[in-house]
Amino acid sequence: MPSPESTGRGAITVEHLSPELTRGLYRDMRTARDLDTEAIALQRQGVFPAYVSVRGQEAAQVGGVSALDPARDFVFPTYREMASALAYGVEMVGYMSTHRALWHGGLYDVMESRFGAVNAVVGGPVPHAVGWAIGESLRGGDGVAMAYFGDGASSEGDVHEAMNFAGVFGAPVIFFCQNNQWALSVPNHRQVAGGSIAARAEGYGLPGVLVDGNDVGAVHTATAQAVERAREGGGPTVIEALTYRVEPHSTSDDPGRYRDEAEADRWRRRDPLDLLRAAMIEAGHADEAHLDRVDAEAAARAERIRDGVATAPEPHGSELFTHVFRESTEELSRQRRTWQEEVEL
C-alpha cells in the first residue's frame, strides 16, 4: 500500500497559485474540517443516525471542485463530499440536513446549486455525470460534469461502462477518484489491479492523472487542466487523488478491526490543512495572524450550520409521496390515502 512519502514531497508548495486562491482554499478546508467535527458530534447526540467523515480528504475535495464554475458545471457527489459542497457554494444547512434522514435528498435546491444529492449507491454518480455531460454537449453548452467516486467504486461495472461510453462519445466529464485506500474494510491491493485507478484510463482512450490528494494546489491544477481540456472538446479525464481515510468509514465502523492504526497516524502527520498553512506562510500568501482569524471565522460558521441543522423543523409526513414519481400512480395514491386515514385516527 502506498505510504505518505510515496505520494510525493513531504511538504507542498503554492507558489504557482495566487494568494487570493490559496486563502480561499484554506478558508473552505478549515470550515469543512470544523463542520465535520460538529457533524460527528451531532451523530453522537442522536441528531444524525449516521455520518461519514471527510477528515483528511479536504484537499482532494476543495482543490478539485474549486477548479469548476458553479454557473455552468455540475457536480455528482457520493456520500462523502461535504467539503466539495461547501467549497462549491451549496447552502449547507439544507445540505447537511440530508444526514437527518428525513428528506428526499436534503433541503437545498439541487438544480440551482448544480450539485447533486447525496448518493450512497457505490459508483452511482458516475453514469449520471456522463449522461448529463452528453446532454450538455448535445445542447451546445460548454459545461463540465464532475463525477466523484472512491477506490472501492472503481471496481463497479457502472464506473467502467461510464468511462467507456464517455471515451467513445468524448463527453465533457471528469472522473474524480478519491483514493482513500480503503473500500470500507478492503485495502487497495485486494481490489485494484493494474497498479492504479488512473492507469485504467488508457484502456478507454482517456488521459489518466495520479496526483497527491493531500496537496490542494496539485489537485486544483490537475483539475483545472482537465476542465480546460473538456471545455475545448478534448473529452474526459480520469483523476486519481491519492489520500487516506484517517477516520472510520462511517460512525458505525471500527477500523481497528481491519487496519493498522499506526499507518493512519502516519497520514495524520501529513494533514492537508497543516501542509497548506505552512506552504502559505512560506510563500508569503498569509501570516499566522490572518490564518488565526480565518480559523475563528470557520469555527463560528460551522457552529451556525450545526445549530441550523439541529433545529430545522421536520417535514410534513405527506412528503413521503411527493417526489417518488413525476406523476403519481394509482398505487401511490392508494398508499397516500391509507397513510392519511391512519394519521387522522
pLDDT in tens, 275-308: 999 999 999 999 999 999 999 999 999 999 999 9
| Distance in angstroms (rounded) separating the CA atoms of residues 259 and 245 | 11
For residue 256, give every residue at least 6 positions away whose Cβ sits within 8 Å of its Cβ, in sequence order, or none.
none
| Distance in angstroms (rounded) separating the CA atoms of residues 240 and 177 | 5
Do the Cβ atoms of 61 and 178 come closer than 8 Å? Answer: yes
| Distance in angstroms (rounded) separating the CA atoms of residues 328 and 315 | 19
Q: What is the pLDDT of residues 223-256, one digit of tens each?
A: 999 999 999 999 999 999 999 999 999 999 999 9
For residue 345, give every residue at least 6 positions away whose Cβ sits within 8 Å of its Cβ, in sequence order, or none.
none
| Residue at 218: amino acid letter | A
The strand order across the sheet containing 145-150 reads 74-76, 145-150, 173-179, 237-242, 208-212
Q: What is the pLDDT of residues 143-187, one digit of tens each?
A: 999 999 999 999 899 999 999 999 999 999 999 999 999 998 998
Q: pLDDT-based confidence at 8, cuts 50/70/90?
A: very low
- Structural domains in the chain, sorted by start: 5-314 (3.40.50.970), 317-345 (no CATH)
| Distance in angstroms (rounded) separating the CA atoms of residues 78 and 85 | 11
Q: What is the pLDDT of residues 112-123, one digit of tens each?
A: 999 999 999 999
Phi, psi of 76 (to 5 degrees): -120, 100
3-state secondary structure of 76: strand
Do the Cβ atoms of 280 and 286 come closer than 8 Å? Answer: yes
| Distance in angstroms (rounded) separating the CA atoms of residues 47 and 326 | 31
